[in-house]
Amino acid sequence: MEHTLKVYIYKDGKKPIFHLPIMKGLYASEGWFMKLMQGSKQFVVKDPRKAHLFYMPFSSRMLEYTLYVRNSHNRTNLRQHLKEYSEKIAAKYPFWNRTGGADHFLVACHDWVCSAPYETRHHMEHCIKALCNADVTVGFKLGRDVSLPETYVRAARNPLRDLGGKPPSQRNILAFYAGGMHGYLRPILVKQWKDKDPNMKIFGPMPAGVASKMNYIQHMKRSKYCICPKGYEVNSPRVVEAIFYECVPVIISDNFIPPLFEVFNWKAFSIILPEKDIPNLKEILVSIPAKRYMDLQLGVRKVQRHFLWHGRPLKYDLFHMTLHSIWYNRVYQIKPR
């Protein structure tokens, strides 16, 4: 890929929906990829005839923010906007029509795109979709689509701020979770474990403010296992957060396809449990031998570099890994009939 892949970025589309990356917050993955892709001299070509892949640089977050009427529960105008965009590039360029869009890709992290494939089904059906919500039950296509790591970036100027955590010998908390009660699973987790066991630091939402955020981070840095339950959708930013703070992620989300699964063996650095095992959570974690935990924690530290954003991309970082997954799926995907 390093020496072969070339990407053409469509210049069509106006800001803020297109070409305006969001570098901070819950949906930062799509923004960081956009910024680094648009700034790449290694992969980007100006002549589309030399390209292997075609990038449609829109922000799902800005699409929702700009066009969605709050509390309307109606996304018709969002669908129409993407429909008109895809029809425009299909009419203006020959590249879409020769493959039905199969060599085109989008990168999106907002729930409305990730959880509602109907929004893009008819006019972007064959595109490669890099999505944070990699849920096989709502239209995520294995072998075509890409599971995009959801990364919560707290400082756009320094995405690596507070990176790392305590060594295993200083991690005196067995398991930690704190967060909003999104979806049906998190209330079950909190009801089962909050204030039930001193080694299980399971909380609901933490108070707002800098001190609370630092407390959250310090808990992750001091915990052996960080619980990553699904929210409204199957994905959770805690998976990458756990890796960021060198805490072994415990993923509890049926039907979730982990990021970069075609490259990594997630069993080497995480625990993946079915949702029904929440009542047995402590028993399962305590039963893991010390040697196994040390191997898992070492595995987290080994893969950490692949889940990091940098102002200037480094080989094998999250930008390169995401682009590799897109390229891999294009090379090996089943072509549309």
Same domain, 247 and 320: no
In a domain, 161, yes or no: no
Which CATH number do you get for residue 266? Answer: 3.40.50.2000
Question: Which tokens is 204 given?
Answer: 């609901």
Kindly state the average pLDDT of the residues 155-173.
96
pLDDT band at 189 (very low <50, low <70, confident <90, very high): very high
Higher pLDDT among residues 119 and 20, named by residue: 20
> What does the pLDDT look like over 248-269, one tens digit per residue?
999 999 999 999 998 999 999 9
Domain assignment present for 107: yes
Given this model, what pLDDT does residue 71 score?
A: 73
What pLDDT score does 122 carry?
58
150 and 108 within one domain: yes
Phi-psi region at 15: left, alpha or beta (left = phi > 0; alpha = psi -120 to 50): beta
Residue 298 has pLDDT above 50, yes or no: yes
Whether 51 and 172 share a structural domain:
no
Report if residue 159 sits inside a domain.
no
207 domain-assigned: yes
Average pLDDT estimate for 220-237: 95
Mean pLDDT score of the chain, rounded to an integer? Answer: 92
pLDDT of residue 111: 66
319 and 182 in a single domain? The answer is no
- Region of residue 34 (left: phi > 0; alpha: psi -120 to 50; beta: else): alpha
d(CA 9, CA 17): 15
Residue 197, C-beta contacts closer than 8 angstroms, at least 6 positions apart = 282
* Residue 200 sits in the same domain as residue 261: yes
Domains held by the chain: number: 2
The pLDDT assigned to 118 comes to: 47
Give the closest residue to 230 by CA, choosing from 181, 296, 173, 284.
181
Answer yes or no: is 78 within a domain: yes
Q: C-alpha distances in angstroms, 117 versus 99, 102, 257, 325?
A: 20, 16, 16, 20
Domain around 218: 168-307
Contact between 59 and 31 under an 8 Å Cβ cutoff? The reply is yes
Question: Which range among 113-117, 132-136, 187-191 shows the weakest confidence by mean pLDDT?
Answer: 113-117
**Does 301 share its domain with 181?**
yes
Q: Are residues 112 and 224 in the same domain?
A: no
Using left for φ > 0, alpha for ψ between -120 and 50, and beta otherwise, residue 139 falls in left
In a domain, 162, yes or no: no
Does position 56 have pLDDT exceeding 80, yes or no?
Answer: yes
Convert the pLDDT of each residue in 60-117 to its tens digit: 989 988 987 777 777 778 888 989 999 999 999 999 999 999 999 999 997 655 444 4
Query: Which pLDDT score, from 0 to 100, does residue 155 have?
Result: 92
**Interhelix angle for 28-38 vs 318-332, to 10°?**
80
Whether 51 is in a domain gets the answer yes
* Banded pLDDT at 206 (limits 50, 70, 90): confident
Is the domain of 118 the same as that of 197?
Answer: no
My answer on whether 208 and 245 are in the same domain is: yes
d(CA 226, CA 200): 10
- Measure Cα distances from 262 to 18, 84, 115, 307 in Å: 29, 33, 22, 15
76 and 21, same structural domain? yes
Provide the pLDDT for residue 91: 95
pLDDT at res. 120: 56
Asked whether residue 160 is assigned to any structural domain, the reply reads no
In terms of phi and psi (left: phi > 0; alpha: psi -120 to 50; beta: otherwise), the region of 147 is beta
| Strand residues in the chain grouped as ranges (E) | 7-9, 53-55, 104-108, 128-131, 146-147, 173-177, 200-202, 223-229, 248-252, 271-273
pTM of the predicted model as reported, rounded to 2 decimal places: 0.93
The answer to whether the peptide bond before residue 187 is cis (omega within 30 degrees of 0) is no
- Residue 21 confidence (pLDDT): 93
**Residues 263 and 326 occupy one common structural domain:** no
Give the mean pLDDT of 10-25: 94
Q: What's the distance, Cα to Cα, between the start and end of the chain in Å?
A: 26
Instruction: State whether 95 and 116 are in the same domain.
Output: yes
What value does the mean pLDDT take over residues 262-290? 97
